[in-house]
């Protein structure tokens, strides 16, 4: 073996010794950072359906209370124990169901036409505004409900105004449409189905979390404080979308 070959072997051995594996905690940290960077709409989907599911049962309870106390002028004793007064309970439930039907019509009919227009608009001008709109509607909805609770003398019919924000900002229908359009824009075909499955998972987790949270907040803060929390959740999501979500069309 000549001197040149010997020098080459020594150099190769030295290079081999220099290679040092990264500690496991660094690898885990890098993987965690990679996962965090891939998170886009998942937190907003979870929070939207959680907040929406918080508001829906509370709205029904507020409507029943207002119908009982203001519409029929029943005493607080009767309204707090409706199940013990069958005749009064039937009257209140009948009127509350009628108002609930009107609220559903007001909310859903404009929403259908609005979303049909918004879908084609977002293809040309981008997804960000359609993603934000349902959360703006959620903030306005929460504020209207809070006003109805704070001003106890307002008749139950004023609760119908709470349906308007969701009606003219698209609500759940607009969010789901924008969500699927956005994920189609940002993911390759190979991973698109998996990403949609993750979105759907957060969509399903939100409602039970919202119902559980509403039980806790109503007991501790009442309906007024609970709707302030709902509005705050929607507002946080608006800021998140503005800061975190990048436009995918109309750039």
Q: Give tens-digit pLDDT for 15-65.
A: 444 444 556 656 666 666 666 677 788 899 999 999 999 999 999 999 999
Please give the pLDDT value at position 34. Answer: 66
**Distance between first and last Cα of the chain:** 65
Looking at the predicted structure, is the pLDDT value of residue 211 above 90?
Answer: yes
CATH of the domain at 96: 1.20.1250.20
Does 24 fall in a domain? no
| pLDDT band, residue 4 (cuts 50/70/90) | low
Q: Which two tokens stand for residue 231?
A: 């509005």
Please give the pLDDT value at position 11. Answer: 47
Please give the pLDDT value at position 36. Answer: 66
Looking at the predicted structure, is the pLDDT value of residue 220 above 90?
Answer: yes
Q: How many distinct structural domains can be found in the chain? A: 1
Percent of the chain scoring above 90 in pLDDT: 55
Interior/surface letters 95-113, b for 16+ CB within 10 angstroms, e for the rest: bbeebbeebeebbeebbee
What distance in Å separates the CA atoms of residue 158 and residue 66, rounded to the nearest whole number?
Answer: 10
What distance in Å separates the CA atoms of residue 27 and residue 39, rounded to the nearest whole number?
Answer: 19
Does 38 fall in a domain? no
Q: Which two tokens stand for residue 142?
A: 């929460």
Does 3 fall in a domain? no
Stretch 69-78: mean pLDDT, rounded?
Answer: 90
Secondary structure in 3-state letters for 138-189: HHHHHHHHHHHHHCCCCCHHHHHHHHHHHHHHCHHHHHHHHHHHHHHHHCCH
Does 7 fall in a domain? no
Q: Is 97 left (phi over 0), alpha (psi -120 to 50) or beta?
A: alpha
Tens-place pLDDT, residues 108-149: 988 888 888 888 888 888 889 999 999 999 999 999 999 999
Which residues are CB-neighbours of 118 under 8 A, at least 6 positions away? Answer: 130, 133, 170, 174, 177
Does 125 fall in a domain? yes
Instruction: Return mean pLDDT, the chain.
Output: 86
Residue with tokens 């949609």: 196
Does 46 fall in a domain? no
Model confidence, pTM: 0.84
Please give the pLDDT value at position 39. Answer: 77
What is the DSSP secondary structure assignment for residue 74, as one 8-state letter?
A: -
Domain of residue 107, residue span: 52-244
Stretch 177-205: mean pLDDT, rounded?
Answer: 88
Does 237 fall in a domain? yes
Please give the pLDDT value at position 17. Answer: 46
Does 30 fall in a domain? no
């Amino acid at each position: 073996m000549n001197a040149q070959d010997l020098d080459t072997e020594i150099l190769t051995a030295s290079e081999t010794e220099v290679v040092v594996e990264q500690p496991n905690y660094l690898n885990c940290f890098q993987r965690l950072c990679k996962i965090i960077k891939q998170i886009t709409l998942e937190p907003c989907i979870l929070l939207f359906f959680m907040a929406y599911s918080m508001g829906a049962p509370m709205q029904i309870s507020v409507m029943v209370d207002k119908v009982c106390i203001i519409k029929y002028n029943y005493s607080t004793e009767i309204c707090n124990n409706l199940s013990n007064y069958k005749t009064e309970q039937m009257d209140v439930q009948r009127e509350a169901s009628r108002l609930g039907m009107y609220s559903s019509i007001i909310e859903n009919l404009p929403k259908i036409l609005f979303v049909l227009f918004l879908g084609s608009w977002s293809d040309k001008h981008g997804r960000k505004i359609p993603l934000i709109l349902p959360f703006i509607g959620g903030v306005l909805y929460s504020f209207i409900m809070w006003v109805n609770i704070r001003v106890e003398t307002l008749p139950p019919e004023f609760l119908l105004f709470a349906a308007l924000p969701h009606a003219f900002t698209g609500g759940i229908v607009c969010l789901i449409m924008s969500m699927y359009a956005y994920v189609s824009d940002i993911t390759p075909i190979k991973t698109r189905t998996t990403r949609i499955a993750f979105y759907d998972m957060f969509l399903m987790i939100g409602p039970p979390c919202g119902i559980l949270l509403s039980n806790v907040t109503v007991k501790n803060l009442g309906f007024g404080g609970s709707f302030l929390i709902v509005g705050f959740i929607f507002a946080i999501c608006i800021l998140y979308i503005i800061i975190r979500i990048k436009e995918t069309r109309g750039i």
